[in-house]
Amino acid sequence: MNSRPIRHLQERVRTFTWTSTRAMFRIAIILALALASICVIVSHYLINALGKGHQSGFAAVGKGASFFAEHAGPTGVKLAQIISARRDLFDPRCLAPLERLCDTANVPSKREVLRTFRSAFPNEPGERLLEIDCEPIASGSVSFVLRARTIRNEDIAIKFLRKNVKEKILIDIAISRLIIKLVSIFPATKSVPLEEIFNSFSSILIEQCDMRIEARNMIDLSPLLEIRIPILHDDLIEETSLGMEYINIRSRISSEEIPDSDFRSYALFVLREVYNMVFVHGIIHGDIHPGNVVLDDRNNVVLIDFGLVVRINQIDRRRLRCLFFGVITGDFKLVSSVILESASSIPREINTTLFEASVERLVSTVRGVTVGDFLVTEFAYKLFEIQRRFGLRGAPSFANAIWVLAMYEGLVRARFPSLAFQSEALSILMKPYHNQSRSVLR
């Protein structure tokens, strides 16, 4: 696969300058979004504290957040999609306007649709396509999806990259990198490899700009998972467009119309697939928000949108398995060994006895808890805090797994708080643990 366009974009990120009018405009939007996000969070908890008489304010807060996010472009929409899944943290009335952005953000005009379509397929309809529906079936700040019919009379979906999205992502990355550098000054963040984590994540964001990479992600994951993944049309894969089978989507699995018993079954199925991606295959769908985990008309769970896919190498997968196995079984020495093994720097004078005691206290507070009594990000923060106290520099390799597990947690925590996520992990962790985990720590 030709990676030259992606390398070109990465080079543009490194050599970015702030002098253009477009850059200054984007900076203003991102800063406004940051301020609006703070206002939304403060307003949410203020309304909650005032009591039932002020509860109608939640909807207004959600609408305001949705407006700002949609106009902030890719970064704003992505943040809104992530927050929209957290019914365990925010009032549903506040999140309802944000949920719309999971599949109907920045709906393109018919003129934009036609211009984009003709740019990607100048000879269609006619050669491969019989007809095209100009009304998008889904849209976001990075791409939109149209329904079409091939000359073989097959219904398909075609995903198109939006105009100028590469430049928007480029500017967002540059702005975010500046923010990361500023945050990294504070002592509390010294143990967290923020820049390394951000560099890894920004590369994935850039890869969204090439539909051929998304096609490769789908091809790699399809034979590894039981979950349904759309079948690609090889003759419709281009840098700016991606053709695949059309799936009649019944609803999201998070829909309130899904009975609780069915939702729990779907949630368990998706959790096992997530664990397989993280611990076994090392190819992980990195965008598991409500709009990307859906049901088809036969009630099969379908995973869509593979623009954000992260990959974890074999050594880091083994370390992750050891870490999770140690937490689940209470083996704090194993957890401590993984942290020390993966740290990018260890002070010579570290007191390993006190370090292990701190890890033991943390592990004892989370061992055996269900998803309703656990927060992935809170656990990760406490783990980084222990590293900071002992002068360790955390490794960025676990960040992608933390990200994905936190997104899954948002899907299920409010509705399935009794989910025993630790025992579910054991069935996958046991075999590789006995065969391989200790060898990683030698």
SS3 per-residue string spanning 297-366: CCCCEEECCCCCEEECCHHHHHHHHHHHHHHHHCCHHHHHHHHHHHCCECCCCCCHHHHHHHHHHHHHHH
Residues 98 and 192 in one domain: no
6 vs 180 pLDDT, higher one: 180
State the Cα–Cα distance between residues 229 and 236, nearest whole angstrom: 17
Half-sphere CA count of 332, side-chain side, radius 13 A: 17
Residues 96 and 194 in one domain: no
Residues 65 and 204 in one domain: no
Residues 200 and 90 in one domain: no
200 vs 28 pLDDT, higher one: 200
The most confident of 16-20, 103-107, 171-175, 335-339, by mean pLDDT: 335-339
The most confident of 21-25, 169-173, 308-312, by mean pLDDT: 308-312
Residue 140: its pLDDT value, please? Answer: 83
CA distances in angstroms from 420 to 104, 364, 370, 371, 373, listed in the order given = 33, 16, 5, 7, 10
The answer to whether position 109 is within a domain reads: no
Q: What is the pTM of this model?
A: 0.82
Judge if the upstream peptide bond of residue 396 is cis by omega within 30 degrees of 0. Answer: no
Confidence class of residue 329 from pLDDT cuts 50, 70 and 90?
very high
The answer to whether position 133 is within a domain reads: no
Which residue's entry shows tokens 């964001």? 205
The answer to whether position 381 is within a domain reads: yes
Under 8 Å CB-to-CB from 385, ≥6 apart: which residues? Answer: 191
Average pLDDT over residues 252-265: 92
State the Cα–Cα distance between residues 439 and 269, nearest whole angstrom: 30
Average pLDDT over residues 99-120: 86
In which domain, by residue range, is 442 found? 186-229+249-442
Where among 74, 102, 130 does a domain terminate?
102
Confidence class of residue 63 from pLDDT cuts 50, 70 and 90?
confident
**Is the predicted pLDDT of residue 54 greater than 50, yes or no?**
no
Domain count, the chain: 2
67 near 59, Cβ under 8 Å? no
State the Cα–Cα distance between residues 181 and 386, nearest whole angstrom: 22
The answer to whether position 160 is within a domain reads: no
State the Cα–Cα distance between residues 22 and 105, nearest whole angstrom: 21
Q: What are residue 161's DSSP bridge partners?
A: 143
- Specify the range with the lowest mean pLDDT, choosing from 85-99, 164-178, 342-356: 85-99
Where among 67, 102, 137 does a domain terminate?
102
Half-sphere CA count of 42, side-chain side, radius 13 A: 6
User: Amino acid identity of 35?
Assistant: L
Residue 437: its pLDDT value, please? Answer: 41
Average pLDDT over residues 295-319: 92
Alpha helices for 130-276 (secondary structure H):
165-183, 194-207, 211-221, 260-275
The answer to whether position 313 is within a domain reads: yes
Where among 102, 117, 147 does a domain terminate?
102
Confidence class of residue 292 from pLDDT cuts 50, 70 and 90?
very high
Query: For residue 174, what are its two tokens?
Result: 């540059």
Q: Mean pLDDT in the chain?
A: 82
The answer to whether position 218 is within a domain reads: yes
Residues 290 and 431 in one domain: yes
Under 8 Å CB-to-CB from 93, ≥6 apart: which residues? Answer: 55, 58, 59, 62
Residues 321 and 223 in one domain: yes
Confidence class of residue 359 from pLDDT cuts 50, 70 and 90?
very high
The answer to whether position 148 is within a domain reads: no
Average pLDDT over residues 164-191: 78
Residues 324 and 424 in one domain: yes
